[in-house]
DNA sequence: CCCACATT
């Protein structure tokens, strides 16, 4: 057999990769949901300067056998915790090609009943490529007179060993590249090709990254007819996903769903389909429990359940008798004074009220804009908790037992900030729960049970419904939960607007922080932010202020105006790290990519022909460039969104170079990291960055262009987020109409029903609010918190009337069980519920695009 | 059109 190369994974971008040849003597770790493995390899040959027998090899490997010799290619890395490792990006089965090798392989453990003698006989007859010969045509064994049993074992074992390769070849035939092929194989294993033949649309349903259209192309190859029910259902699911999840909504309605699905199904095959059949398949999906209809709304089942489960888990935590220890206010104040003394801080009345409420609450929402002291409250709460409960905050004392306070955030960066501000360990929510971030289905994913007394989540506005459901499910009764966030920031990447909806439900205790502590009086940036929040630009918007100015220009002038501003600022002593240009999108003449090129030329020009420079994906990197790190690398203490400066470029082609591949060295605030060329996709120029990426950072001077070109990005919370990144100076430029468009178009406009679910579960007697006409919901919240003028107001601590702050809400009747709303097959079949899920009085004809 | 999460 020829050397087997799975060639399944991304090939190395490095000019020359190192290699290690050897056998796997132990597997230290094998991921459940990917091919990732950490293995100990007995080295027989290597290109590296390595004098030990064994080395730890990491990477993605499929079918590792302990008696097979592999050739791993990749690079040597230094893991901060585990020392030297070999990071393989490719590997091959070094299948024997010599006579002895083949004989050894065939007489090995893989082939029971086949001894050395028989193996020699086979090789003598068929040659050193005997394995390939047998696989091509098992009949070649016949003349050898092997026992039928031995011969059958031999053939089937060889086929199994090569099955994976066959499947990968099959997947390649359908046009799947290495990454997707690995994901598909991982999901179906040896059944992969059967699944695809049976129903190619299964791929679209199960595999992230396979769309309906992709599956439909395969189905066409396989001769699937256009009106097959599987096809119609797949089109409906894809459309449901496009209309809800992709927009951040948790549901859609029948009319757009059927109309869009019909056009998707018809256009991708250029056929006409019967809308009635499509409506039938929608009902079928409901019976299969893949979608749920509720009133006029249609949900993906997982999203429907997630909303209910968030509400139910909140109820579980709030209703529990196991209430947090009761303290009297005097005792709290006494301890608070000690905390103040130790922290060299004085809490004002609103902060004292906030801390006093939070220390006793089962579930507490804490919201406020930038500079309103959320971090101060978190730090104070941690210390107050330790004093009230007489627990130590020294993690060294918790070698055996769990730390009583859990701190987590949805992003690595926010977690790092949390850890820095409290001096306590903090991590991502995923890590807290033991999730890998690649789970197909958070329902099936096993999560850690949380232990401890207090859980604080920061940046809660970035948590989507799936993650919130999974998080709350893991919280034990009696653990206090404090959710901190800024409801006016950008919503989560995933579906829902959980933090907004929790606040809007009015069923949970909340603290609204309004007092601005961070900026001195006379600032006009914070009042601007508040004006934006309330939906209008201030009258002085275009007038220049001490800390803010506006320059009107058209999209094609943005480049030159920014050029001039930055030249001046640079001359005045602002460094590249002080100045941050923010923009909503990458493309276009006023997009991030273009502006980065312009800014790089001003702030870090190529000074001479000899200036070192490397090129990567249309970007040039030079020493001194400001760059953005795009993924989490906790082992280096560098996180998605961190900004650094290139301090070194080492070219492999340099005469004196000691490196084997080109390397960049980047200095971050606390650490310096070296990147081989393979890792450069983790970097991008950062003179201009997306507003989304800037969330959670602050800059001395923010330069913010806004033009009609950004069209659908022009939203209120986007502008709010950008403006609130500026600590000292804000320079706005562009088209006044674009800024107007931002404030008038509501950022928070996702269609969700979480608010209603919470109200139903926590306050079943209350007036059932009709869900969640987004405009109404938002205005409700805003009237509660009248946008303050520049004058600071106090924090409002609200305890909802029917809620359970004192843990004695036993008079609350049992909540209406959500099951009543669910469209189960039983209900459909028993005709207790009209299965037409909100389509009453609507004939499918109405969904037809008018021809 | 923008966006997060991970493994010994």
Reported as a single tens digit per residue, the pLDDT across A272-329 is 999 999 999 999 999 999 999 988 899 999 999 999 999 999 999 999 876 666 788 8
Mark out the alpha helices in A229-368 (DSSP H runs).
229-243, 254-267, 275-287, 301-319, 329-343, 349-358
- Predicted local confidence at residue A307, as pLDDT: 96
Query: In this structure, what token pair is assigned to residue A99?
Result: 């006579």
A693 beta carbon to strand B: under 7 Å: yes
The DSSP call for residue A274 is -
Q: Which residues of chain A between 552 and 611 are close to nucleic strand B, CB under 7 A?
A: 584-587, 591
CB contact at 8 A, A232 and A257: no
β A83-93/A509-513 pair status: unpaired
- Predicted local confidence at residue A9, as pLDDT: 41
- What is the C-alpha to C-alpha distance for residues A329 and A149, in angstroms, rounded to an integer? 83
- Predicted local confidence at residue A133, as pLDDT: 85
Query: In this structure, what token pair is assigned to residue A838?
Result: 């909100």
Query: Å from A77 (CA) to B5 (C1')?
Result: 24
Segments of chain A scoring below 50 in pLDDT = 1-15, 773-793, 802-851
Nucleotides of B under 7 A from a protein CB: 1-8
- Predicted local confidence at residue A593, as pLDDT: 93
- Predicted local confidence at residue A527, as pLDDT: 87
A289 beta carbon to strand B: under 7 Å: no
Query: Å from A564 (CA) to B4 (C1')?
Result: 35
Query: Å from A245 (CA) to B3 (C1')?
Result: 13
A475 beta carbon to strand B: under 7 Å: no
CA angle in degrees (0–180, nearest 5) for A191-A196-A202: 100
- Predicted local confidence at residue A178, as pLDDT: 62
- What phi-psi label fits residue A617: left (phi over 0), alpha (psi between -120 and 50 degrees) or beta? left
Angle, to 10 degrees, between the axis of helix A178-188 and the axis of helix A163-173?
130
A517 beta carbon to strand B: under 7 Å: no
CA angle in degrees (0–180, nearest 5) for A626-A632-A633: 90
Closest alpha carbon to C1' of B3, residue? A493
| Main-chain phi, psi angles of A457, to 5 degrees | -110, 125
CB contact at 8 A, A453 and A389: yes
- Predicted local confidence at residue A77, as pLDDT: 78
CA angle in degrees (0–180, nearest 5) for A457-A463-A465: 125
- Predicted local confidence at residue A521, as pLDDT: 63
Burial of A158 (0-12, 13-18, 19+ CB in 10 A): buried
**C-alpha A700, offset from chain centre:** 29
Which distant-in-sequence residues (6+ apart) come within 8 Å of A488 by Cβ? A369, A533, A717, A720, A721, A747, A748
């Amino acid at each position: 057999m020829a050397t087997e190369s799975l060639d399944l994974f991304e090939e190395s971008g490095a000019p020359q990769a190192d290699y290690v040849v050897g056998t796997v003597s132990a597997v230290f770790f094998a991921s459940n949901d990917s091919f990732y493995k950490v293995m100990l390899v007995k080295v027989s040959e290597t290109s590296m300067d390595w004098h030990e027998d064994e080395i730890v090899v990491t990477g993605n490997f499929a079918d590792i056998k302990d008696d097979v010799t592999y050739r791993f290619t990749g690079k040597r890395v230094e893991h901060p915790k585990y020392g030297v490792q070999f990071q393989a990006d490719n590997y091959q089965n070094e299948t024997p090609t010599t006579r002895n090798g083949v004989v050894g392989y065939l007489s090995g453990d893989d082939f029971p009943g086949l001894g050395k003698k028989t193996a020699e006989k086979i090789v003598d007859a068929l040659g050193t490529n005997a394995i390939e010969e047998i696989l091509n045509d098992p009949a070649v064994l016949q003349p050898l007179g092997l026992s039928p049993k031995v011969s059958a074992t031999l053939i089937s074992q060889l086929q199994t060993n090569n099955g994976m390769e066959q499947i990968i070849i099959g997947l390649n035939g359908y046009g799947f590249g290495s990454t997707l092929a690995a994901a598909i194989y991982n999901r179906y294993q040896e059944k992969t090709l059967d699944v695809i033949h049976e129903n190619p649309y299964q791929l679209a349903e199960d595999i992230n990254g396979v769309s309906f259209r992709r599956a439909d192309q395969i189905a066409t190859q396989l001769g699937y007819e256009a009106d097959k029910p599987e096809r119609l259902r797949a089109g409906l699911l894809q459309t449901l996903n496009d209309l809800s999840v992709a927009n951040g909504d948790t549901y859609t309605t029948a009319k757009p769903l059927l109309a869009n699905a019909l056009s998707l199904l018809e256009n991708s095959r250029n056929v006409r389909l019967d809308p009635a059949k499509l409506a039938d398949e929608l009902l079928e999906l409901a019976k299969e429990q893949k979608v749920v209809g509720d009133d006029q709304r249609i949900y993906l089942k997982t999203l429907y359940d997630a909303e209910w489960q968030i509400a139910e888990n909140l109820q579980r935590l709030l209703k529990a008798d196991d209430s947090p220890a009761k303290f009297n206010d005097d005792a709290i104040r006494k301890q608070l004074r000690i905390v103040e003394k130790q922290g060299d801080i004085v809490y004002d009345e609103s902060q004292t009220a906030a801390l006093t409420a939070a220390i006793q609450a089962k579930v507490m929402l804490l919201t406020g804009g930038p500079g309103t002291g959320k971090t101060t409250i978190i730090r104070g709460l941690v210390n107050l908790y330790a004093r009230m409960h007489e627990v130590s905050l020294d993690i060294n004392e918790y070698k055996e037992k769990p730390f009583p306070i859990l701190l987590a955030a949805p992003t690595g960066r926010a977690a790092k900030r949390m850890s820095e501000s409290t001096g306590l360990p903090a991590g991502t929510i995923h890590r807290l729960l033991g999730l890998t971030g690649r789970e197909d289905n958070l329902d099936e994913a096993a999560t850690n049970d949380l232990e401890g007394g207090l859980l604080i989540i920061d940046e809660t506005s970035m948590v989507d419904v799936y993650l919130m459901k999974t998080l709350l499910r893991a919280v034990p009764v009696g653990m206090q939960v404090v959710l901190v966030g800024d409801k006016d920031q950008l919503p989560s990447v995933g579906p829902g607007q959980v933090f907004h909806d929790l606040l809007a439900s009015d069923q949970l205790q909340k603290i609204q922080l309004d007092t601005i502590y961070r900026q001195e009086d006379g600032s006009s940036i914070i009042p601007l932010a508040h004006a934006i929040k309330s939906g209008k630009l201030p009258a002085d918007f275009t007038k220049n202020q001490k800390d803010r100015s506006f320059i009107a220009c058209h999209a094609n002038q943005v480049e030159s105006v920014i050029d001039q501003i930055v030249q001046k600022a640079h001359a005045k002593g602002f460094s590249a790290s002080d100045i941050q240009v923010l923009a909503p999108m990458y493309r276009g003449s006023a997009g991030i990519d273009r502006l980065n090129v312009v800014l790089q030329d001003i702030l870090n020009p190529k000074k001479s022909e000899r200036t070192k420079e490397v090129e990567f994906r249309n970007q040039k990197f030079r020493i001194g460039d400001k760059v953005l790190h795009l993924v989490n690398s906790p082992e280096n203490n560098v996180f998605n969104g961190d900004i650094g400066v290139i301090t070194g470029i080492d070219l492999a082609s340099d005469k004196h170079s000691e490196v084997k591949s080109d390397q960049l060295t980047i200095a971050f605030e606390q650490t310096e990291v070296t990147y081989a060329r393979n890792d450069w996709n983790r970097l991008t120029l950062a003179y201009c960055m997306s507003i989304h990426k800037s969330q959670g950072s602050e800059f001395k001077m923010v330069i913010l262009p806004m033009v009609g070109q950004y069209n659908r990005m022009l939203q209120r919370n986007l502008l709010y987020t950008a403006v609130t990144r500026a600590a000292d100076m804000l320079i706005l430029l562009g088209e006044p109409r674009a800024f107007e468009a931002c404030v008038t178009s509501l950022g928070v406009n996702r269609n969700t029903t979480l608010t209603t679910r919470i109200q139903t579960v926590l306050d079943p007697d209350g007036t059932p609010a009709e869900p969640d006409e987004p405009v109404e919901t938002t205005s409700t919240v805003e009237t509660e918190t009248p946008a303050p003028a520049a004058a600071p107001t106090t924090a409002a601590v609200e305890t909802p009337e029917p809620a359970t702050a004192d843990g004695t809400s036993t008079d609350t009747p049992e909540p209406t069980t959500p099951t009543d709303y669910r469209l189960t097959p039983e209900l459909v079949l028993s005709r207790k519920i009209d299965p037409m899920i909100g389509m009453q009085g609507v004939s499918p004809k109405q969904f037809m695009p008018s021809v």
